Amino acid sequence: MAVLEILKYPHPVLKKKCKCVERVDEEVKRLIHDMKETMYHANGIGLAACQVGTPQQVIVMDVSPIDPGQGFFALINPEIICEEGEVDYEEGCLSVPECTEKIKRKEKVRVKGISPEGEEMEIAGEGILSIALQHEIDHLNGVLILDRISRLKREIYRNKLKKEKQRGEKE
Ligand SMILES: [Zn+2]
């Protein structure tokens, strides 16, 4: 297992639509193990494969730091099949450092996908589990929290990054 580098905005891979996994082979299983380790190492509660430079439809998640009733799981080719209600939640992202924004999400979702054992599975989520599922599935579609906030807020974040970069170049 290995801790991988987490790509940061504006890395182009984060904007890509991720490919469907055709077969759950050893390579996919290794990717899941590495993503799990990378997520825990970064103190994250979820991670999408594109965030570690592999644009495939794989997510890992463990929201137990916020909802102790939940645990770790990985999901391949996840797809939202049911959604209900609306909720605002302050979200952050390992690929968008120093940015937390209130995002509008569905309150409950039902997601189907494939387990690392190659079996079909369904997860019904509400609360943080629902929000994290939507956040990670967004990643698989090349969508970041920056795409879900106002243009003004996005500009403010971009300018902040630009200034930080300039400061870094001067030093
Ligand atoms: Zn994220």
CA atoms within 13 A on the CB side of 113: 24
108 CA distance to ligand 1 middle (Å): 19
140 CA distance to ligand 1 middle (Å): 10
For the CA atoms of 99, 104, 108, 110, the dihedral, rounded to the nearest 10 degrees, stands at -80
pLDDT tens, 59-114?
A: 999 999 999 999 999 999 999 999 999 999 999 999 999 999 999 999 999 999 99
Q: What pLDDT score does 168 carry?
A: 87
Is residue 91 part of the annotated active site? The answer reads no
| Cβ contacts of 43 within 8 Å, gap of 6 or more | 65
Q: What pLDDT score does 31 carry?
A: 98
Cβ proximity of 113 and 21 under 8 Å: no
Q: What are the φ/ψ torsions at residue 61 (nearest 5 degrees)?
A: -155, 145
pLDDT at 24 over 80: yes
Q: Percent of the chain, pLDDT > 70? A: 100
